[in-house]
Amino acid sequence: MSRPLTAPLSAQPSSATLTTLLAEERTFPAPEAVAQVANLDAAAAEAWRQRGVEDPEGFWAEQAAHLDWETPWNTVLQWSPPTFAEGADVTDPLAELSVPSARWFDGGTLNAAVNCLDRHVAAGHGDRVATHFEGERGDTRTITYADLLAEVSRAANALSALGVEPGDRVVLYLPVIPETLITVLACARIGAVHSLVFGGFSAEALRFRVADTTAKVVVATDGQFRRGRAVPVKAAVDEAVAGLDHVEHVLVVRRTGEEAFAGEPIPWTEGRDVWWHDVVDTADTAHEAVAFPAEHPLFIIYTSGSTGRPKGLLHTTGGYLTHARYAHWAHFDAHPETDVHWCTADLAWVTAHSFAIYGPLLNGVTQVMYEGVPDFPAPGRHFEIIEKYRATTYYTAPTLVRACMTWGDDVPARYDLSSLKLLGSVGEPINPEVWMWFRENVGGGTAPVVDTWWQSETGATVVAPLPGATTLKPGSATRPLPGLDAAVVDDTGAEVQPSQGGWLVVRRPWPGMARTVWGNPERYRDAYWRQFAVQGYYAAGDGARYDADRYLWLLGRLDDVVNVSGHRLSTTEVESALVAHPDVAEAGVVGVGDELTGQAVAAFVIPSRRSVLDDDDAHPALEAALRQQVATVIGPVAKPKHVVVVRDLPKTRSGKIMRRILGDLLEGRAPGDTTSLSDERAVDAVRDGIAARRARTTTSTAAR
């Protein structure tokens, strides 16, 4: 197979920018069929972009008007940028700086759940399917908008009866089941603040979030299905909330129906614990919703924690909903009459908040919800679901696409995927070869791949193509959405030249932006606003570059940059070069200390074939081939000094490689906080790979 991603570009290394060397020449114009029916065609997209630049507040006011407001707002935006105290030395990292504050649509009031449900039912769409639920064991449930409204009303009544008041926090520790969606919307309906915690997290990770939010109620299940087995959950919840007096109730959904796990009955604290079927299923299906101010808190979302202790970002109502609705409508080209949208993210991830909950429901589309993992009972489960529900959009993470590639092209080929109109990617940079495979093997060679760049902090998408307007380039998230002012700048805040890497920033406030870090406004200021406080820019922490067409290419996190003899290399580019090799399924790259060059590139690779993984004798040849691959694709400076063959990589639950753990392990340090890991066994997998390589290099040195 030819691998045309290799025309090394020359670029000047400098301390302020990144050396970027990967060039991608393939382009894919918007298909005619998509452009013709798209919400935004090329001309409209250009006009919207212009409007976003010339009158950003007018632009967002128009978007906000797509929601139902009980009271209209009086000001679109009140923005207090971060400001240094008079006479402060702005280069001093401890200089006194005010905490920025954004208020969108002040004076306006609305109810989030009414916007997601009641207004569609009132418009005569109560019979439209809101969610096709597919359980891990193949059980299904079809929930219309009218059904969902009734269920949410019940849950809202039940939560109020449990004492939940507007502003109180409710933590959800649930799998991907209808009750999760229902609880989220019930919280929103009564003005309670929801915070979802991934159901696979440990009791310790849950406890941190319950304590940090001082939650009044925790909603959980008796147990969960995992790869066909029922596993306990409630005992972990008890451990997590022990001694936290602010937790007044634990509301428990009976999901597995098991009476006991390994002989232990489900632990129960009378008075505190209540069954969902006792209090929700018996509640009234009518609920009168009241409107809340635009800046009323809607939810707290913890970042994935790939760089350290997770931050609890607070999102508020009016601005967030405006941004989520707009982004879903624009880059997923929402058509409520025909769409069957599937965002595969766990509901506890921000991706699902905006693109499996609020965005799609605000636009009134039909969705798919699936409880299980993609490869149970067999690889292909996702494709089976796409075929079954005739899904039109499939939005997933690069890590999953890379996994699909190792299962083989024949797996997607077995299913009828012709209903798919659009594919989407989020969570990490999608390597060009992975993008190509996805489009070809899942998208039938025609479906646009919408690569969306955004963060928990940004609320919804900042950079993404518009499928009916944008010419795509594999691996590029293309351009900022109309209305969003993202740019790539150097250390001084000046925009970089094409092909130079720099900091990705957002130069103007936007409605979906997080308002603060829960309970820690100084951390909010210092993490995102201090670096470019003089300019008033939001610093995302990610690196990016422009190409000659001003397309954006994400380069990974700037604190992951590898500095080899003054060349600052992007982990993303080296990883993309590695996964372009047919023997590599996944790659994680990190910088490790080196006497000669300051830092050296260390690459951890999962072979695409089991036979290569298991055959230790094949590893030296693979290492040599990969060094050569990187040297040719990117340049000799990026050649990995260490190549470690591993069977797994440490990832967050949202599929992000936790590179700092790789560095810690290779340099013999204990890995720091690992509570965000989706599978702690990956740490051992890396340790084993490192030990095997050491043993081999020691033996070969001894033999010489």
Binding site for ligand ATP (CB under 6 A): 303-307, 310, 350, 426-429, 451-453, 455-456, 477, 540-542, 554, 557, 654, 656
Q: What's the CA gap between 238 and 272, in Å, rounded?
A: 11
Residue 654 interacts with which of ligand ATP, Mg ion, none, CB < 5 to 8 Å by class: ligand ATP
Residue 453 interacts with which of Mg ion, ligand ATP, none, CB < 5 to 8 Å by class: ligand ATP
Query: Which has the closest alpha carbon to 162: 198, 192, 206, 118?
Result: 192
Nearest-approach distance from CB 499 to ligand ATP, in angstroms: 18
Nearer to ligand ATP, 296 or 311 (CB): 311
Nearer to ligand ATP, 427 or 635 (CB): 427
Q: What's the CA gap between 584 and 152, in Å, rounded?
A: 46
Nearer to Mg ion, 298 or 350 (CB): 350
Nearer to ligand ATP, 310 or 319 (CB): 310
Nearer to Mg ion, 527 or 534 (CB): 527
Residue 426 interacts with which of ligand ATP, Mg ion, none, CB < 5 to 8 Å by class: ligand ATP
Nearest-approach distance from CB 477 to ligand ATP, in angstroms: 5
CA angle centred on 366, ends 323 and 217, rounded to 5°: 65
Nearest-approach distance from CB 455 to Mg ion, in angstroms: 5
The DSSP output letter for 684 is H
Q: What's the CA gap between 438 and 442, in Å, rounded?
A: 5
Residue 557 interacts with which of ligand ATP, Mg ion, none, CB < 5 to 8 Å by class: ligand ATP
The helix (H) or strand (E) run that includes residue 252 is strand 249-253
Residue 179 interacts with which of ligand ATP, Mg ion, none, CB < 5 to 8 Å by class: none
Nearest-approach distance from CB 464 to ligand ATP, in angstroms: 8
Nearest-approach distance from CB 544 to ligand ATP, in angstroms: 9
Which amino acid type is present at position 692?
A
Residue 477 interacts with which of ligand ATP, Mg ion, none, CB < 5 to 8 Å by class: ligand ATP
Nearest-approach distance from CB 568 to ligand ATP, in angstroms: 17
Give strand pairing partners of 16.
none
Q: What's the CA gap between 558 and 594, in Å, rounded?
A: 19
Of residues 268 through 307, those in contact with Mg ion by CB under 5 A are 303
Residue 656 interacts with which of Mg ion, ligand ATP, none, CB < 5 to 8 Å by class: ligand ATP
Q: Are 652 and 677 in contact (CB under 8 A)?
A: yes
Burial of 108 (0-12, 13-18, 19+ CB in 10 A): buried
Any idea which residue has 């670029």 for tokens?
11
Q: What's the CA gap between 516 and 102, in Å, rounded?
A: 9
Nearest-approach distance from CB 677 to Mg ion, in angstroms: 16
Nearest-approach distance from CB 638 to ligand ATP, in angstroms: 19
Number of CB atoms found within 10 A of residue 94's CB: 9
Nearer to ligand ATP, 31 or 541 (CB): 541
Nearer to ligand ATP, 455 or 531 (CB): 455
Query: Which has the closest alpha carbon to 302: 220, 196, 219?
Result: 196
Nearer to ligand ATP, 224 or 654 (CB): 654
N-terminal to C-terminal alpha carbon distance within the chain: 38
SS3 content of the chain, % helix, strand, coil (to 5): 35, 25, 40
Nearer to Mg ion, 303 or 599 (CB): 303
Crossing angle between the packed helical segments 145-161 and 178-190, to the nearest 10 degrees: 60
Query: Which has the closest alpha carbon to 594: 623, 572, 624, 562?
Result: 562
Residue 428 interacts with which of Mg ion, ligand ATP, none, CB < 5 to 8 Å by class: ligand ATP
Residue 599 interacts with which of ligand ATP, Mg ion, none, CB < 5 to 8 Å by class: none
Nearest-approach distance from CB 335 to ligand ATP, in angstroms: 23
* Phi, psi for residue 548 in degrees, rounded to 5: -65, -25
The residue number with the shortest CB distance to Mg ion is 303
Q: What's the CA gap between 76 and 73, in Å, rounded?
A: 7
Q: What's the CA gap between 280 and 530, in Å, rounded?
A: 46
Q: What's the CA gap between 175 and 385, in Å, rounded?
A: 18
Q: Are 526 and 560 in contact (CB under 8 A)?
A: no
Nearer to Mg ion, 303 or 499 (CB): 303
Q: Are 647 and 689 in contact (CB under 8 A)?
A: yes
Residue 350 interacts with which of ligand ATP, Mg ion, none, CB < 5 to 8 Å by class: ligand ATP
Residue 554 interacts with which of Mg ion, ligand ATP, none, CB < 5 to 8 Å by class: ligand ATP
Q: Hey, is 543 helix, strand or coil?
A: strand
Give strand pairing partners of 125.
none
Nearer to ligand ATP, 278 or 679 (CB): 679
Nearer to ligand ATP, 149 or 196 (CB): 196
Nearest-approach distance from CB 506 to ligand ATP, in angstroms: 12
Q: What's the CA gap between 549 and 519, in Å, rounded?
A: 42
Nearest-approach distance from CB 457 to Mg ion, in angstroms: 7
Nearer to ligand ATP, 184 or 426 (CB): 426
Residue 107 has which token pair?
A: 């004076």
Residue 427 interacts with which of Mg ion, ligand ATP, none, CB < 5 to 8 Å by class: ligand ATP
Residue 273 interacts with which of Mg ion, ligand ATP, none, CB < 5 to 8 Å by class: none
Nearest-approach distance from CB 50 to ligand ATP, in angstroms: 25
Residue 6 has which token pair?
A: 């290799």
Nearest-approach distance from CB 541 to Mg ion, in angstroms: 6
Cα–Cα distances (Å) from 71 to 76, 295, 326, 363, in that order, read 13, 13, 20, 21
Nearest-approach distance from CB 454 to Mg ion, in angstroms: 10
Total of residues contacting Mg ion (CB under 5 A): 1
Q: Where are the alpha helices (DSSP H) in 514-618?
A: 521-524, 571-579, 610-614
Residue 586 interacts with which of Mg ion, ligand ATP, none, CB < 5 to 8 Å by class: none
Residue 414 has which token pair?
A: 């077995």
Nearest-approach distance from CB 510 to Mg ion, in angstroms: 17
Residue 542 interacts with which of ligand ATP, Mg ion, none, CB < 5 to 8 Å by class: ligand ATP
Q: What's the CA gap between 293 and 313, in Å, rounded?
A: 19
Q: What's the CA gap between 24 and 7, in Å, rounded?
A: 8
List residues binding Mg ion (CB under 5 A): 303
